[in-house]
Amino acid sequence: MSEPQGRRTGPDRDATGTGAPHGAPQGPRTARDEILGRIERALGRRRPPVDRAYAAIERPYRRRHHESGIVDLFAERLAHYRAVVHRVEPADLPGAVARVLTRGRYAVPAGLPAHWLAEVDPALLVHEPPTTELDALDGVVTGCAAAIAETGTIVLDHGPGQGRRALSLVPDHHLIVVTADQIAPDVPEALERLSPARPLTFVSGPSATSDIELNRVEGVHGPRTLDVIVTR
């Protein structure tokens, strides 16, 4: 866990109540001072150093629930959400993309590998459309940053080949290409691969709601059709 930086006196001193709040203005107590003061009073001053206490938290749970068959598991779990999963050899990827992108015009983010689209009619593709045009498009094709087999989840970090968040949100159809090496067996290892400094979107199936009698209904505000091509 990272140390606080800058003017801070460090986690140990803050946590044991010996570090005075920084930058507290003179005069009437601010809400910040008051809330932090109440917390300090509630917790008492004598606490072991925070880093030591944090490190002592035991984590006897599994790092992963499956050791093998990770790609199969991912495909199965994702399909369970009624995403349409296509499994192809890497060489067949352009053909698979072309077979999915047939229903109108599609947004394409900058940085998407050009060969993925080699067999798609260029007239169908709109590169980096402005947000105001997104609602008029039929779909979007992106890559991803990582995937989670156990939960059938795809994570976008909206870097090259994925586009800004709006791009994969507004159009009603989302095609995501996932390569086998991007699939982590389970949640812990997937989080290790991701940078929280990036905006992240975890996608597990098409948009859905359980708000009507607690039954899952696909298709509310996010893309209602989710196609996923998984390369072996």
Partner 1 sequence: MTMPTYLGMPAFPRAARAAVADERLRDNLARATGTIRDRRRAAVAELDDWAALREAGRRIKDHTLRYLDHYLRLLEEKVTAAGGTVHWARDAAEANRIVADLIRATGRTEVVKVKSMATQEIGLNEALEKEGITAYETDLAELIVQLGDDRPSHILVPAIHRNRSEIRDIFRRRMPDAPPDLSDEPAELAEAARRHLRAKFLSAQVAVSGVNFAVAETGTLVVLESEGNGRMCLTLPKTLISVMGIEKVVPTWRDLEVFLQLLPRSSTAERMNPYTSAWTGVTPGDGPQEFHLVLLDNGRTSVLADEVGRQALRCIRCSACLNVCPVYARAGGHAYGSPYPGPIGAILSPQIRGIGSPVDASLPYASSLCGACLEACPVAIDIPEVLVHLRAKVVEEGPRHPLAGTAMAAAGWTLRSPRRLALAQRLASASRRLIGRRGRIRRLPGPLRAWTDSRDAPAPPPESFRAWWKRTDGGRA
If binding is defined by CB under 8 A, does position 69 make contact with partner 1?
A: no
Q: Is 140 in a helix, a strand, or coil?
A: strand
Considering only CA atoms, give the Rg of the chain.
23
- Residues near 136 by Cβ (< 8 Å), separated by ≥ 6? none
d(CA 107, CA 200): 19
CA atoms within 13 A on the CB side of 187: 5
Geometric angle at alpha carbon 202, from 51 and 117, rounded to 5° = 135
By beta-carbon proximity to partner 1, the closer residue of 150 and 227 is 150
Determine the interface stretch with partner 1 among 91-99, 112-120, 138-146, 211-219 (rule: CB under 8 A).
211-219
> Which residue of 72, 127, 133, 209 would you call a contact of partner 1, by CB under 8 A?
209
CB 176 within 8 A of CB 157: no
By beta-carbon proximity to partner 1, the closer residue of 70 and 120 is 70
Supply the minimum distance, in Å, between the C-beta of residue 9 and partner 1: 10
d(CA 162, CA 147): 14
If binding is defined by CB under 8 A, does position 38 make contact with partner 1?
A: yes
Q: How many residues bind partner 1 (CB under 8 A)?
A: 82
Determine the interface stretch with partner 1 among 77-85, 96-104, 111-119, 121-129 (rule: CB under 8 A).
77-85
d(CA 116, CA 136): 23
> Which residue of 20, 35, 110, 118 would you call a contact of partner 1, by CB under 8 A?
35
If binding is defined by CB under 8 A, does position 131 make contact with partner 1?
A: yes
By beta-carbon proximity to partner 1, the closer residue of 17 and 111 is 17
If binding is defined by CB under 8 A, does position 67 make contact with partner 1?
A: no
State the alpha helices, DSSP H only, in 44-129. Answer: 50-55, 70-80, 93-100
User: Which residues inside 170-199 make contact with partner 1, applying CB under 8 A?
Assistant: 170, 187-188, 191-192, 196-199
If binding is defined by CB under 8 A, does position 68 make contact with partner 1?
A: no
